[in-house]
Amino acid sequence: MASNPSVQVQVAQGRALASRRRRERLHTGLTYLILGVSAVILGMPFFWMATTALKPIQEVVIYPPRWLPSEIRLENFVEAWQAAPFDRFYINSVVTGVATTLLQVLFALFMAYAFAFIAFPAKNLLFLLVLSTMMIPVEMKLVPNYLLLKELGWINTYWALIIPPAAHAFPVFVLFQQFRTLPRDLLDAATVDGATHVQTLLRVVAPMSRPLLAAVALVSFVGRWNDYLWPLIVTNKVAMRTLPIGLAYLKETQEGGNRWNLLMAGTIFVVAPILVLFIFTQKQFVEGITRGAVKG
Amino acid sequence: MRRLRHGSLLWSLLLAVAVVLAGCAVGAPPAAPAAPAAGEAGAPAEEAAPQEVIELTYWHTNPGPAGEAQDELVEMFNQSQDRIRVASEFQGGYGDLATAILTAFAAGEGPEVSQLGTFEILEFYKSGVLVDVKPYLDGPNGVDTSDWPGTMLDAGAFDGGIYWLPFNVAVPVLYYNVEAFEEAGLPGPPETWDQFFEYARKLTVKDENGNTTRYGVAYIYGWFSWPLQSMIWSEGGNITTKDYSNITLNDPVIVELMTKLQDLVKEGAAIMPDPASGGHRGFFKNGQAAMILDSPGPFADIMEQSVGFTPMVANYPAGKAGRVYAPGGGGIVMLSTAPEEKRDAAWEFMKFMLSPESIAYYARRSGYTAWYGRAQEAAADLLQDERYRIIHEALPYLRGDFSVNMSPAVRTAFDEAVAKILLELADPQTTLDEADAKAEEGVKEEIFAP
Amino acid sequence: MAHRQTHGSSWHRNRRNWLTFLAFVAPNFLIFGVFTYWPILYSFYLSFNRWNFLRPTMEFVGLRNYARLLQDEYFWEVVGNTFTYTFSVVLIAQFLAFLLALALNRKVPGQPFFRTVAFTPHITTTAAAALVWVLLLDPQMGPLSLIYNALGVQGPRWLVSTTLALWAIIIVGIWKEIGFSSVFFLAGLQNINRDLYEAAMVDGASTWHLFRHITVPMMTPIMFFLMVSGLIQAMKAFDVVAIMTEGGPVYPASATYVYHLYQLAFRNFRAGYASAFAMFFFVAIIVITLIQVRMSEKWVQYGE
């Protein structure tokens, strides 16, 4: 009974420490294994996209395939660029993407605020009505929308590319989730000071949600940038079309052919700006979009 | 956190309400869809131009050089006179082009003249989308169609009118690997379909394990029904009558042909390759297939990219009924949304596009054919090339009948059956019987139901 | 929480608030009304008619489109495909994403890099991604062929196989979804209060026990969120099908519901019938969401 308790504790602690270290090492190994495998699988398409875009055509169709091009062929990008008016597509994508994003965020800000802080009958019901719009595939709405746009005289205009997508439930939902977590006192204080809702929104709520706003804006922008079907239907002039349609043109040009190197160069035109944007803003982006859901 | 749960109940409620709301809408039917058109449109342009210049819009498909060539032709037309100005717009692939016309027409607008593939001709005609150009064709400012090949003029002829005129015409082309033929001791391309099947076996090379290293023939993935049509017609078979009153997807000729084609696959003498690798064309260019059944479209690519052998072209073989070929490509139409006062100008433009010089110009740039007599004269330079000459020999045998393409029910049933038989190796007889029943059932739902 | 006051006399008292509310939600509701709600009502109306978008008149056919729907073998096939696609993508992606998030949650060197790589598929233009995948899965030109070669086997011909084509599409769906879900899981993991673990560790709980009884339960709300949003996303799958298989190789082997709907409406000109398809989709999505909500009440744990 008189065995030294402190020694026992030390031994036990030592054993625990060793086993914990072992476990630690195992876990780290496992972590890298999972991360490594994931990175290879998830990153492979980008690798293949880039290398294919640089290969001469003979090396694209060769069997077995080569991991790397034997010579870097930058002319692919020039040829792909010339296959469709990509300069015009870029301008259209940027203009409509930015404009729609700004409107989406602005409208969502007001709507989310209203749902979070202003009393109104049957508010939850209305909110669900908003969320339900996320469930409707665009394909279902194309023709009625087209007829409407025609009535408005918006076909082949930036209006058609900007206004209908300017209302989106996702930013509303995310901002709403965030707003609910804001300390009530702050808002009450603002109200007591006699601030109107507009003032509270712009001076208190919006600044507090700035990182989230940036993230939401980015999601909106990415969504617009990648959209194919809507611009295809509401424009019928090459001068009004956007990048993903340029990609489709490039694909058509290959009709049955296999100029995959040019096609991959084209995909890089479309994907690269978004990737660059994401890499520079990813911290805000990731934190922002997860916040709403996670804190919900 | 309870809030989420609380929300879930409300979810149910909302959705119920949404459904009820939707139900209410039946009582108040929305306004008729067809929007009145034309009236207010285009005003600014017309005011700006004091001269009576008629503005037209032309939509087209065929991207790349073939599309650019159309833009160039339009420009030439604009340069050639100062009364009519045509704006040319590329609309994507054939499907995208048709969708664009569909949506525009539904809203009462659209181009005056457009290129149009073959799938939509009948549906568009039956719906009043297309203008009968027969009066123009036969009128004082008409077009001489006496040297148009085969029955191409019939393709767009319905109920006494003509609603679609061929513009970019493709003919079936058999590409073959000259060295492979020599190796197998074959004198030249197959003259009959029976020879075709025989040669395909002789051209096949296998390694010691019995794996095929070179297939006799590679089939087109996705639209094998196109070369198949030529086969069937040449052998005296029929797929459907033009009015769909007698659909015969299980015609004995078809069953026999499909069985033979499937046998080649089973024996390792034929393959339907994945579309990505350039499909059958990739197999041919790499020397993995000795023959392919295709169109003149990939001619330049194939000549340029084939490695280690000499590619050559031939016509499709003949069958018991001689040579009967299914045309490919597209045509040109006038749309009924074109206001009366613009129709003469629209015809003027169509006539220009169909002129021998335009067709020859287009053939030079696009790989489609200079498809009628005077166009070939205008493209004499092109035809000095032996290979182009051979391709053009197919023209007189074209049958201007797109009835398989024009009915979605027949088209899809046929395509599915072909894919099932050649990819899944399903039994040809039962598969075609089923497809026939399906097509007959489906066509009843279409607006041109017999 | 929400509105606790009695409603009856409240207009006067609340007029200012209510007007503000209406003004704040007006822009979005206006656009939703015009470009979403109205088209749905219109589709509902169309679903009782036979029309091809083009003819000046439509023919009222009552419930015939709905009756036909139930006998249409395409309908059942695309419903089955969409079911397979949706549940495979959502469940597999969630499982893999959770694993990945656990790995990302260990702050090892290089973690930000891996997180970036994981997320990029999600923001990649679907059309572009689908094109690359066509190339990747190709039995000859794709890098996978090197693996098949090394193993000495014949690679599967994904896109021309009636059974595999749908799975090719599912793979792309999963690829796009993993990084997205894992970022949410990661945020959730980082949000779990460390005290919970420490308290449990003092009690001598094993790692597995911690995982099973703290980590997983704390993540259920996120799982729920991701599952709902993932299901809705997946059910709408269109672009990948259009680029990779067009529903082939033997239509509709890999056609999803929305893809078939688009084909019906815009390639076969069956506006009325396609609208009946659309209405069914709408109802189905409601029902599935309700089921999810019901089920979630059983297993989602909302800790404080």
Domains contained in chain B, CATH given:
52-170+328-397 (3.40.190.10), 173-326+407-443 (3.40.190.10)
Contact C238, C258 (CB under 8 A): yes
Q: Tell me how far apart the alpha carbons of residues B401 and B121 are, in angstroms, rounded to a whole number.
A: 11
User: Cβ separation of A270 and C128 shorter than 8 Å?
Assistant: yes
Which tokens go with C174?
């999963």
Does the pLDDT value for residue B311 go beyond 50? Answer: yes
Q: In this complex, do B274 and C157 lie within 8 Å of one another by their Cβ atoms? A: yes
> H-helix or E-strand containing C17?
helix C10-32
Query: Which chain B residues are Cβ-neighbours of A56 within 8 angstroms?
Result: none
> Among B331, B332, B323, which Cα is nearest to B396's?
B323
Residue C46 contacts residue C275 (beta carbons within 8 Å): yes
Are β-strands C49-50 and C59-60 bridged in parallel, bridged antiparallel, or unpaired? antiparallel
Give the residue from chain C lying closest to A40, CA to CA: C117
Nearest chain C CA: its distance from B17 CA (Å): 11
C128-153 pLDDT, tens digit per residue, is 999 899 889 888 778 888 888 888 78
Question: Quick one: pLDDT at residue A257?
Answer: 56
CATH class of C73-299: mainly alpha
* Nearest-10 Cα torsion for C21, C22, C27, C31: 130
In terms of average pLDDT, the best of A69-73, B263-267, B269-273 is B263-267
**Is residue C3 predicted with pLDDT exceeding 60?**
no
Q: State how far the Cα of A259 lies from the Cα of A253, in Å rounded to an integer.
A: 9
What is the pLDDT, as a whole number, of residue B4?
36
More confident residue, B11 or A203: A203
Q: How far is C89 from chain B (nearest CA, A)?
A: 24
Residues counted in chain C:
304
* Range ranked top by mean pLDDT from A198-202, C172-176, C179-183: C172-176
Closest residue in A to B221 (Cα) is A256
CA terminus-to-terminus distance, chain B: 62
Calculate the average pLDDT of chain C. Answer: 85
What is the average per-residue pLDDT within B83-112? 89
Inform me whether the pLDDT recorded for B117 exceeds 50: yes
Q: Dump pLDDT digits (tens) for C32-64.
A: 999 999 998 998 999 999 988 888 888 999 999
Q: Which of A67, A77, A72, A66 is nearest to A40 (CA)?
A: A67
* Chains in contact with C, counting 3 or more C-beta pairs less than 8 Å apart as contact: A, B
Distance CA B163, CA B154 (A): 10
Q: Quick one: pLDDT band at residue A205, thresholds 50, 70, 90? A: confident
What pLDDT band is residue C5 in, cutting at 50, 70 and 90?
very low
Across the range C182-208, mean pLDDT stands at 81
More confident residue, B266 or B102: B266
According to DSSP, the β-strands at B212-218 and B157-158 are: unpaired
Residue B154 has pLDDT above 80, yes or no: yes
Nearest to A125 among B14, B100, B109 (CB): B14
Name every chain C residue with its beta carbon within 8 A of the beta carbon of A30. Answer: 103
List Cα–Cα distances, B404 to B130, B241, B243, B415, C99, in angstroms: 20, 9, 11, 10, 52
Average pLDDT over residues A29-38: 88
Q: For chain A, list the strands marked E by DSSP.
A: none
- B426, two tokens: 């399903």
Q: How far is A73 from chain C (nearest CA, A)?
A: 18
Q: Which positions in chain A touch C210 (Cβ < 8 Å)?
A: none
Residues 6+ apart with CB under 8 A from B103: A142, A143, A146, A233, C53
Tell me how close the Cα of C250 comes to any Cα of chain B, in angstroms: 5
Closest by CA to A131, choosing from C134, B37, B14, is B14
CA distance B288 to chain C (A): 12
Task: For residue A142, list chain C residues with Cβ-Cβ distance below 8 A.
Answer: 265-266
CB contact under 8 A, B281 and A57: no
| pLDDT score, position B17 | 36
Residue B230 has pLDDT above 90, yes or no: yes
pLDDT value of position B148: 93
pLDDT of residue B150: 78
Question: Is the pLDDT reported for residue B40 higher than 50?
Answer: no
**Least confident range of A41-45, A177-181, B405-409, C10-14:** C10-14
CA distance B103 to chain A (A): 7
Q: State what percent of residues in chain A have pLDDT above 70.
A: 91
Nearest CA in chain C to A174: C225
Mutate to test the interface with A, among C3, C16, C25, C148 (most CBs of A within 10 A): C25
CB-CB neighbors (< 8 A) of B25 in chain C: 41, 44-45
| Cβ <8 Å between A61 and B89 | no
Asked whether the beta carbons of residue A155 and residue B10 sit closer than 8 angstroms, the reply is no
pLDDT for res C146: 83
In angstroms, the CA B314 to CA B321 distance is: 19
Instruction: Answer yes or no: do C123 and A120 touch at CB < 8 A.
Output: no
- The predicted-structure confidence for B334-389, as pLDDT tens digits, reads as follows 999 999 999 999 999 999 999 999 999 999 888 899 999 999 999 999 999 999 99
Residue A251 binned pLDDT confidence (cut-offs 50, 70, 90): confident
Query: Which residues 124-163 of C have a C-beta within 8 angstroms of B?
Result: 134-135, 137-142, 157-162
Per residue in C239-260, pLDDT (tens digit) is 899 888 888 888 899 999 999 9
Torsion of CA B41, B42, B44, B47, to 10 degrees: -110
Would you state the pLDDT for residue C135? 87
Q: Residue B371, Cβ neighbours under 10 Å: how many? A: 29
| pLDDT, tens only, B126-147 | 999 999 999 999 999 999 999 9
In chain B, % of residues over pLDDT 90? 68
The segment(s) of chain C belonging to CATH 1.10.3720.10 are 73-299
Confidence of residue A66 (pLDDT cuts 50, 70, 90): confident
For C99-128, the pLDDT digits (tens) are 999 888 887 888 888 888 888 898 898 889
Q: What is the distance between the alpha carbons of residues A160 and C57, in angstroms, rounded to a whole number? A: 27
Work out the mean pLDDT of chain B and round it to a whole number.
86
> Which residues numbered 18-77 in B keep a CB inside 8 Å of some CB on A?
18, 33, 35, 40, 59, 61, 63-64
Which distant-in-sequence residues (6+ apart) come within 8 Å of C245 by Cβ? C159, C165, C168, C169, C253, C254
What per-residue confidence (pLDDT) applies to B206? 94
Cβ–Cβ below 8 Å for B276 and C134? yes
pLDDT of residue B18: 38
Q: What is the 3-state secondary structure (H, E, C) of chain B?
A: CHHHHHHHHHHHHHHHHHHHHHHHCCCCCCCCCCCCCCCCCCHHHHHHCCCCCEEEEEEECCCCHHHHHHHHHHHHHHHHCCCEEEEEEECCCHHHHHHHHHHHHHCCCCCCEEEECCCCHHHHHHCCCECCCHHHHHCCCCCCCCCCCCCHHHHHEECCEECCEEEEEECCEEEEEHHHHHHCCCCCCCCEHHHHHHHHHHHCEECCCCCEEEEEEECCCCCCHHHHHHHHHHCCCCCECCCCCCECCCCHHHHHHHHHHHHHHHCCCEECCCCCCCHHHHHHHCCCEEEEEECCCCHHHHHHHCCCCCEEEECCCEECCECCECCEEEEEEEECCCCHHHHHHHHHHHHHHHCHHHHHHHHHHHCCCCCCHHHHHHCHHHHCCHHHHHHHCCHHHECCCCHHHHCHHHHHHHHHHHHHHHHCCCCHHHHHHHHHHHHHHHHCCCCCCC
Subunit contact C120:A49, Cβ cutoff 8 A: no
Chain centroid, CA B110 distance in Å: 22
Q: Residue C19 phi/psi, 5° resolution?
A: -65, -40
pLDDT confidence band for A291 (50 / 70 / 90):
low
Query: What is the least distance, in Å, from the CA of B7 to any CA of chain A?
Result: 7
pLDDT at B10 over 70: no
Report the DSSP pairing between strands B311-314 and B173-177. Answer: antiparallel
| Interface contact flag, C140 B282, Cβ < 8 Å | yes
Question: Does residue A295 surpass a pLDDT of 80?
Answer: no
CB distance C213 to C220 below 8 Å: no
Lowest mean pLDDT among A59-73, B18-32, C13-27: B18-32
User: Nearest-CA distance from B141 to chain A in Å?
Assistant: 31
Question: Would you give the DSSP letter of residue A237?
Answer: S
Question: Is the model's pLDDT at C8 over the cut of 80?
Answer: no
Among B284, B337, B423, pick the best mutation site for testing chain C contact (most C Cβ within 10 A).
B423
Report CA Rg, chain B.
25
Q: What is the pLDDT of residue B42?
A: 38
**Which tens digits make up the pLDDT trace of A148-198?**
888 888 988 999 999 999 999 988 988 888 888 788 777 777 777 777 888
Mean pLDDT of chain A: 84
**Amino acid at residue number B446:** E
Identity of residue A246: G
Question: Does the pLDDT at position B179 exceed 80?
Answer: yes
